[in-house]
Structure 1
Amino acid sequence: MTFFLIGAALLTLITLALLLWPLRRGSASGEVSRREINAAIYRDELAELDRDLALGELSQADYDVAKTELQRRLLEDSQAEAGVAGRGIPASRATAVALAIILPLGAALLYFLLGNPGAIEASANAGAHQQRFTQAEIERLVSDFAAKLENEPENYKGWAMLGRSYKALGRFPEAARAYERSGPLLESSADLLVDYADTLAATQGFDAKTMSVLERALKIDPQQPQGLWLRGTAAFEAKQYEKAVTDWQALLAQLEPGSEDAKAVEANIAEARQLGGLAPAPRKSPKLGADKTAPAAAPTIKGRVEIASQLTGKVPANGVLMVVARPTDGSRMPVAVLRAPLGKSPLEFTLDDSLAMSPDRKPSQFAELLIEARVSASGQALPQPGDLFGPVVKVKQGDKDVRLIIDQVR
């Protein structure tokens, strides 16, 4: 608490110094009046209240009380100004006195009314308890907000805000019901419809209702990023790989090249192309003339994958064993992925250009590669929680005795 009060006092003094500096020479004809300065301060405080209300950090009742208090103080200061002017006190001096008194007291009053002074007293070693308390407070505030909205059925923005709050808390059924009560606001906003569809997908998957909401969103905004991602994911799960690639390609065009998001989408596109047999046709090789010989066979990497004995009981029944090869330049985009059904351990494997994710980036084009083995319950190239995996191994082209051991759970 001591450090907080010292910091708050310093900030208040700095603010006062900046505000009072122009008044040090006394009154002048071009000087800003006390009323104008106070009005500016009240506008800032009112803007802050509006922001807190919009973010859901302040209830409507508390907002009304604080706004009324601000208006009352503004009226009192305006009336006091006339009395001060009548006694001949210079305007600059009156303004300085008002700022020196009102600003610290007003800030302190607002903090103790709207803030949480007790949170400062929490000890440093009670971080976990404080976090649980904060979560409980959030749950309580959301519940209070929901109860208030029951008396305001046409507060569509409020219902939309409540839906997002429930979704952030992982309370998806309540979030879906709140979104449904946002009325015409829901039907006119692609972003809100996508949030609603995402919530439905979390509770009931990509069923007919979810897809209907998603299509309505993309009809309003065909380039809505999350909508493209969700529809592509739904198509991928339905093994409609061409549709998935189409949506994900449209999403990829909106992402920054080389970003983590772009690399993740590129990996999913490559996986969908491979599973759907949609990879571009190989480039045509030039005909060999009489004086030319066929190129030498591309090098391969061979080895075996073993699953540690302590993970035997954790292997998913329908899991897929994957050997993933990436370049050593830091890129997360695989150059080759080998998928195989789980069988007896160890599994012998061979990595060659036939497993390339793209004809333009073949394993044989890299002198060294980073390879890892993973057991995926979902069968996706991107790692998922619950996957079994092992350490990454650096190999060279032509290595024949590579050993990969799966001994960890993600």
Structure 2
Amino acid sequence: MTFWALLILTALLIAVFLGYSILKGRKDREPAAAFDLRVYREQLAGVDRDLARGVISEADAERVRTEISRRILSADAQMQAQGTQDGPPVWANTVAIVVVAAVLIGGGFWMYRQMGAAGLPDQPLSLRKELAETMRAERPSQAEVEAEVLPDLPKQLDEGYANLLQQLRNTVAERPDDLQGHVLLAQHEANAGNFAAAYKAQQRVIELSGGAVPADAYAHLAEMMILAANGYISPEAEDALRQSLQRDPRNGPAQYYLGRMMTQVGRPDIGYRIWVEALRASPADSPWAQAMRAQLEELAFRAGVFNPPNIPAPSGPSQEDVEAAADLTPEARQQMIMGMVNQLSDRLATEGGPPEDWARLISALGVLGEGQRAIDIMQEANAVFAGDAEALEIIDAAALQAGIAQ
């Protein structure tokens, strides 16, 4: 109730100030001819002062007086004809004030009833974090969401491909421990749009792989779960994403989906940080990097970041560059590669970059036989990332690969 009293009182005070301005403007209004009269009288006084100082002659002063007097008579006649301009009548001003008050008080009350939440208690940051964690812990499981999601229309498959897929299903059913069969089944079920069947086959692939499960296998499992749930990231999908990142902390698809998951549970700030870190290390032409760049501005706004950093895309040859290099002679190909290496070196020297770019440059120089230059770059990188153990570890691995480890 206190909030509503303050809201109404504020609107009422604003209406009073506006009403006062309307009435004050009405009282202070005067004809334009009255202003002209004051100017002409001041001009007459100025003529007398100029004559006393000897600036103008008596004849000129008389002529100017005559002209100003004529203008004074004309302005006075105009005032007499127009009378005093009282402005709008009192009733019009009264109606205007009532309308303003009604719009401010009634309109403000109606808008807040539609869009506000007067009874909602304060929500400090700590409370919102607790609510987000509760939402994350209590969100529906994969099975619950799949039960509610409307199934998509079956994908129209070529008859021959549909028969082959059914044969593959039958074969895998007969040989449940066939790892390669489940790998093919997961792939083709996904191609056919049967994402629920695809992730179940992928789960079996992981089970049969034992301890040698790569990060991409878990990232693929999570993606199939997310597609089966129509974009929702369940606790089971989150677990698969974290399994992937445990094996490869820079797995791009896993970072992309984990950032989306954080946004879904009310933590866009964490999702934004995950995406920024992923973009610094991901190839510019990768699908997940393109998706993150397309949504980063909106996510930054939701995270409360109004001046997001400019994240340069990591340098490196595109697919078109690779295809073009395949048609070149060995000498031209070497020259092309050296040009890309020099471009990367120039960018790092002027703009800097993540440790992955420095490591890429060191490795490339080692392959090209530029040992001394690779050593110089390594020393510069060690100075740039001094104190960053993780970055130095990446640099040392690149130096070892280039054969210049000290």
TM-score (norm 1): 0.34
Which has the larger Rg? 2
More strand, by proportion? 1
TM-score (norm 2): 0.34
More helix, by proportion? 2
